Structure 1
Amino acid sequence: MVLAIVSMVVALAALALALAAWRRTPSPVADPDALPEDVVGLRQEVAALRAEAAGALRHLGLVRYDAFTDSGGRLSWSVALLDDQGDGVVLTAIHGRSEARSYAKSIRAWACEQQLSPEEEQAIGAARR
């Protein structure tokens, strides 16, 4: 389970980095009427992909910590996976000496209706940056 979540986090980070680099590429032509028809079509497809990517879970924040004073290794964690509007989920795994618990909370507009732990709030804040 943890391996799957870590793999998902790494894949989302790679997607976010690729999209950020892609956005920074300057446009060489100022007059769109001077472009060939196939280039205009490609620009429309890119605009559609950008609109679709806005709903992707591409903002993430991860916080690792020791949930209990008698355990070490920062095995507990909270991760926020959010889209551009701040909608998504925050996942938390709390590891103790004899058990582990997992929690999932829905996030809307960077906020949650349920009480958030300080670590969950920190993960959402890291995803928002």
Structure 2
Amino acid sequence: MPIVLASLALLAAVAALAISVMVLRTLSGSRRSTGEEALPEDVQGLRQEVAALRIEARDALRHLAVVRYDAFGDMGGHLSWSMALLDNGGNGVVLTSIHGRSEARTYAKTVTDWTCAQQLSPEESEAIDNAHA
């Protein structure tokens, strides 16, 4: 559940960044007709902040995908899952939780350039592929 909340918070941050970019594009369009010197100081400050956010966003985990499945034949409900959390370069992590009858185990594998040095399960590969799409 904390991962779901973290994912939602990340999505909200990405949405806020998208709104900021839309505002910046609107301001850029009006700047062409009025000239940059006509912009108030606070707008120029906002521009600098948006530029800094763009630089930070390059490393943000923007490609997310979850694959739910039944890890064992005698269990139902798709309680096991694999989640890929990757940036634009395909760097990040794939998390897997295997739910059994009496326990659950969680695994994390590092992903670099959309590939992993460790062997991936079919579900982990699917999560990475879905995040890349």
Give the corresponding residue for 2:69: 65
Is the aligned partner of 1:125 residue 2:129? yes
- Offset from partner CA, 1:56-96 (integer Å, 9 cap, x none): 22221111111111100000001111112111111000111
Greater per-residue helix proportion: 2
CA RMSD of aligned residues (A): 2.0
Give the number of the structure whose alpha-carbon radius of gyration is greater.
Answer: 2
For the Cα contact (< 8 Å) 1:63–1:119, is it kept in 2? yes
CA apart distance, 1:24: 4.3
Q: Does 1:4 align with 2:2?
A: yes
Does 2:83 match 1:105? no
Identity of aligned residues (%): 57
Cα deviation per residue 1:10-62 (whole Å; 9 max; x = unaligned)? Answer: 21222233334443453322366444362333212211111111112222111
1:30 aligns with 2:32: yes
Q: Gaps spanning 5+ residues in structure 1: where?
A: none
Q: Please, what TM-score do these two structures have when normalized by structure 2? A: 0.82
Residue type of the partner of 1:77?
W
Q: Could you list the runs of 5+ residues in structure 2 that have no partner in the other structure?
A: none
Deviation at 1:128, TM superposition (A): 1.9
Distance 1:18 1:122, change over 3 A: farther
Bigger relative CO (Cα 8 Å, ≥ 6 apart): 1
Taking the aligned partners of 2:131 and 2:110, their CA distance within structure 1 comes to 14
- Residue pairs, 1:45-56, within 5 angstroms: 45-56=49-60
Deviates more, 1:55-64 or 1:86-95: 55-64
The residue type equivalent to 1:30 in the other structure is R
Residue type matched to 1:12 in 2? Answer: L
Structure 2 residue corresponding to 1:16, chosen from 8, 14, 17: 14
TM-score, length-normalised on structure 1?
Answer: 0.84
Matches within 5 A, 1:71-90: 71-90=75-94
